């Protein structure tokens, strides 16, 4: 009986001891409801869900230099973070280079990812127009759009990515396609 009492006491006290020892770094803060709403955008390949805003590669160059180049290099060549530029024609080789310009099938997916996850140290801090501009700059560096081409909710879905046809539909009968 004594062993079971000790075990029960340990089981009761263990969670409180773990919580008491959890480190508190005093860094950051919980997001505001507005910040959560700004990130809670679902963008489909056809552009459904893209918000208002617009940008060009010319505008994106400065934003990229101040917010992205630390990780991705001045021209998206990669540094600390992944390479964003190049790789076209390498996917069928023994050493494929999966970049925005070679692998991503939809420009709208690039927008969605940048909006949700970048910059890495402050995700969600870019305005929608800054996101359009950064995406325009990345696509420009990959020779996909022109330097002064305006990207917005209407024009971005029309951008034809080099690997758009490189993905195949899932043939399993239990997976429904829309």
pLDDT tens for 40-86 read: 788 999 999 999 999 999 999 999 999 999 999 999 998 888 999 99
Residue 28 predicted with pLDDT over 90: no
Return mean pLDDT, the chain: 87
CB half-sphere exposure, 13, CA atoms < 13 A = 6
Which helix (H) or strand (E) covers residue 55, if one does?
strand 54-55
* Residue carrying the six token digits 């997916």: 109
Phi, psi of 21 (to 5 degrees): -95, -5
pLDDT at 158: 98
CA–CA separation, 97 vs 104, rounded Å?
11
CA–CA separation, 147 vs 74, rounded Å?
16
pLDDT at 26: 81
CA–CA separation, 37 vs 84, rounded Å?
28
Residues found in the chain: 178
CA–CA separation, 72 vs 84, rounded Å?
7
CA–CA separation, 150 vs 58, rounded Å?
10
CA–CA separation, 11 vs 2, rounded Å?
14
pLDDT at 30: 85
Domains, in order of start, for the chain: 53-164 (1.10.760.10)
Helix pair angle (107-117, 128-141), 10° resolution? 130
CB 85 within 8 A of CB 101: yes
């Amino acid at each position: 009986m004594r062993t079971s009492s000790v075990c029960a006491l340990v089981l009761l006290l263990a969670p409180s001891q773990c919580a008491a020892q959890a480190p508190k770094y005093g860094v950051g803060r919980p997001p505001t409801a507005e910040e959560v709403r700004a990130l809670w955008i679902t963008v489909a390949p056809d552009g459904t869900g893209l918000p208002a805003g617009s940008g060009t590669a010319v505008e994106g160059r400065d934003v990229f230099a101040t917010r992205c180049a630390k990780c991705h290099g001045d021209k998206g060549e990669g540094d600390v973070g992944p390479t964003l530029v190049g790789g076209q024609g390498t996917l069928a080789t023994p050493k494929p280079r999966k970049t925005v310009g070679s692998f991503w099938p939809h420009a709208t997916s690039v927008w969605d990812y940048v909006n949700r996850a970048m910059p890495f140290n402050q995700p969600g801090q870019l305005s929608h127009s800054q996101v359009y501009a950064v995406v325009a700059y990345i696509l420009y560096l990959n020779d996909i759009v022109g330097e002064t081409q305006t990207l917005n909710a209407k024009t971005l879905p029309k951008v034809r990515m080099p690997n758009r046809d490189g993905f195949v539909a899932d043939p399993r009968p239990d997976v429904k396609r829309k």
